[in-house]
Chain A
Amino acid sequence: MARAHSLRRRTITTAACWLVGLVIFFPILWMAVTSFKTELEAVEIPPKFLFFDWTTENYGVVQERSNYLLFATNSILLSLGSTLVGLLFAIPAAWAMAFAPGKRTKDLLLWMLSTKMMPPVGALIPIYLLFRDLHLLNTRGGMIAVLFLLNLPIIIWMLFTYFKEIPGEILEAARMDGATLWREIVYVLAPMAVPGIASTVLLNVILAWNEAFWTLNLTTTDAAPLTVFIASYSSPEGLFWAKLSAASTLAIAPILVLGWFSQKQLVRGLTFGAVK
């Protein structure tokens, strides 16, 4: 009796879960389907959901007409570049805060996080003018610098929480056993730190990839990532839905995959540890 009851309940909740999940996911699914239609089919009413001539021509057109690869390369360079520079600065800082905390460490960390809360419009005009005068508008170097500064607080914060979980006693034990500082770092610390660093990289690549305030304001072509490329579809000419869908699918696919792997880190990185 109880079992039959719980089976029924499970069936109902399963149906509800899937229904809600599909509704929320639908815009992405619909975009992917539309990307395989011809432009005429894309605007056809009633819409066809499955039974149309699936074609991949839009993907070819997107590349030929708008030099998709340049934008994709910029997205990759900007997101990886800013994250790597971020790690160079953040690893020593997070390390010191986690293993040699002083009286001011907590205040310093909170202050760093608070810089993340500054609205970008408060800095837009000076940064724009400085970039203009220093010839940094539309350059990859300039954008990497901005994205790096934007995400540095989150990188430090995440590394700090991961490093904090490494027990300090292990280091002492290694030292007692006569390990040199170098061996201590390579054989004891690195293996324990790598998973945390990897998670941090993952989340920050995602955040940098999707950043759409500074990229839209400071780049137009040469250093412009995919956010800017997609924005160019906001002034439509003729039929463009299938091409927009194809370009969009290409732009979000890699990050969607990375994102699905980073769910847990998302909670840790974006709530600043306020939810456990």
Chain B
Amino acid sequence: MATRQTRILAHAATAPSTLVLFLWMIVPLAMTIYFSLLRYSLLDPGNESFIGLVNYEYFLSDPAFFAALFNTLKLVGGVLLISVVGGILLALLLDQPCWGRGIVRLMVIAPFFVMPTVSALIWKNLLMHPVQGLFAWIANLLGLQPIDWFAQAPLTAITLIVAWQWLPFATLILLTAIQSLDEEQKEAAEMDGTPPLSFFFYIVLPHLARPITVVILIETIFLLNVFAEILVTTGGGPGNLTTNIPFLVYAQALLQFDVGGASAGGIIAVILANIVAIFLVRMIGRNLEA
């Protein structure tokens, strides 16, 4: 269909983007792989030496690595659980007829647009402070012992903050999906007197299966990279209770100046992310054909 001339034009039009993205992906990755095979400290420049897989051995035998791996999984899992379950419930609620739905929708979506450093510091201080925070005040009103969030349950605190940021995303996508549910199907179910629970489990949930998968995959890709929230609230501590993989790599490189070790950690993070990305790309690709 396309003439030879337009084909050449099309190649010329896509070439610049392809080239810069290729460089952006391949150059740092190749350098990270290369660094990961070196003994390379920023404190001892000029004395790099090739040491093979020693950095990986070091990293994979370091208890801090497994702590960080589990923290990463706990954080991702916790946020996914809250945002997906909460998102389904919220989407169902917001799909109901109600006055001022537009305004409610705006309020629910708002946290997604708050920059990570702001939400982390506002939650840490104004809400979660063990003495002057609002949660402590509410706990006292109810006669409960206030929780010192960042001392007693630091990872839970961070999970809550990140979940607050991602709940709107899940809600918005699932709401869009629910609203595309066939009106006739809804009416037919209502006519037949289908109980709400069966309606939900046999009609709504199957319809949502695909969007839920998409939400899980996309959130996972972003949640594997949570960084700013940890940097400004706990700095990875106390101990390494809130250190996830990105933060561990950052600390290893820019605080301990161990470029080789940090690079090995970076490559491990890339492998983890790729496992998720393969599934996501496949799903997107299938949709692109339809």
Say whether A associates with B: yes
On A, residues with C-beta under 8 Å from B are 6, 9-10, 13-14, 16-18, 20-22, 24-25, 27-28, 30-31, 34, 43-47, 89-90, 92-93, 95-97, 100, 102, 106, 108-110, 112-115, 117-129, 149, 152-153, 156, 206, 209-210, 212-213, 216-217, 226-228, 230-231, 233-234, 236, 241, 244-245, 248, 251-252, 255-256, 258-260, 263, 266-267, 270-276
**Bound Cα distance from A206 to B14, whole angstroms:** 25
Residue pair A20, B93 in contact (C-beta under 8 Å): yes
The SS class assigned to the A binding surface is helix
**Bound Cα distance from A235 to B214, whole angstroms:** 38
Task: Select B134's contact among A30, A110, A156, beta carbons within 8 Å.
Answer: A30
Residues of A within 8 A of B18 (CB): 93, 108, 112
Residues of A within 8 A of B254 (CB): 128, 217
Residue pair B113, A210 in contact (C-beta under 8 Å): yes
Residue pair A109, B288 in contact (C-beta under 8 Å): yes
**Bound Cα distance from A100 to B11, whole angstroms:** 9
A44-B132, A216-B228, A270-B218 are known; give 17 further A-B pairs, CB within 8 A: A24-B108, A24-B164, A24-B168, A31-B122, A92-B12, A93-B14, A102-B7, A112-B17, A121-B246, A122-B28, A230-B117, A251-B118, A252-B118, A267-B172, A271-B214, A272-B218, A273-B288
Residue pair B99, A14 in contact (C-beta under 8 Å): yes
Residue pair B173, A102 in contact (C-beta under 8 Å): no
Residue pair A126, B27 in contact (C-beta under 8 Å): yes
Given contacts A121-B250, A216-B228, A252-B115, contact A17 B7 (CB under 8 A): no
**Bound Cα distance from A255 to B20, whole angstroms:** 28
Residue pair A24, B214 in contact (C-beta under 8 Å): no
Task: Select A121's contact among B27, B132, B245, B274, beta carbons within 8 Å.
Answer: B245
**Bound Cα distance from A100 to B108, whole angstroms:** 40
**Bound Cα distance from A60 to B18, whole angstroms:** 47
Residues of B within 8 A of A18 (CB): 98, 100, 104
**Bound Cα distance from A152 to B221, whole angstroms:** 17
Residue pair B28, A255 in contact (C-beta under 8 Å): no
Residue pair A17, B96 in contact (C-beta under 8 Å): yes
Task: State how many angstroms separate the Cβ of A266 from the closest Cβ of chain B.
Answer: 6
B267 within 8 A of A: yes
**Bound Cα distance from A164 to B32, whole angstroms:** 37
**Bound Cα distance from A85 to B62, whole angstroms:** 43
**Bound Cα distance from A108 to B2, whole angstroms:** 18
**Bound Cα distance from A153 to B289, whole angstroms:** 19
Residue pair B9, A96 in contact (C-beta under 8 Å): yes
B204 within 8 A of A: no
On B, residues with C-beta under 8 Å from A are 2, 6-7, 9-14, 16-18, 20-21, 24-25, 27-29, 31-32, 35, 90, 93-94, 96-101, 103-119, 121-123, 125-127, 131-132, 134, 136-137, 164, 167-169, 172-173, 176-177, 180, 210-211, 214, 218, 221, 224-225, 227-228, 231-233, 245-246, 249-250, 253-254, 259, 262-263, 265-267, 269-270, 272-274, 276-277, 280-281, 283-285, 287-289
Residue in chain A with minimal CB distance to B122:
A31
Residue pair A47, B107 in contact (C-beta under 8 Å): no
Given contacts A95-B13, A108-B18, contact A234 B233 (CB under 8 A): yes
Residue pair B267, A122 in contact (C-beta under 8 Å): yes
Residues of B within 8 A of A231 (CB): 117, 121, 228, 231-232
Residues of A within 8 A of B110 (CB): 24-25, 28, 256, 259-260
Residue pair B214, A244 in contact (C-beta under 8 Å): no
Residue pair B32, A123 in contact (C-beta under 8 Å): yes
Task: Select B24's contact among A20, A22, A149, A244, beta carbons within 8 Å.
Answer: A149
**Bound Cα distance from A210 to B117, whole angstroms:** 9
Residues of A within 8 A of B283 (CB): 274
Given contacts A121-B269, A212-B115, A227-B116, contact A10 B121 (CB under 8 A): no
Task: Select B227's contact among A27, A216, A270, beta carbons within 8 Å.
Answer: A216
- Tell which of B21, B27, B113, B119 has the most Cβ of chain A within 10 Å: B113
Residue pair B288, A230 in contact (C-beta under 8 Å): no
Residue pair A16, B93 in contact (C-beta under 8 Å): yes
**Bound Cα distance from A214 to B11, whole angstroms:** 31
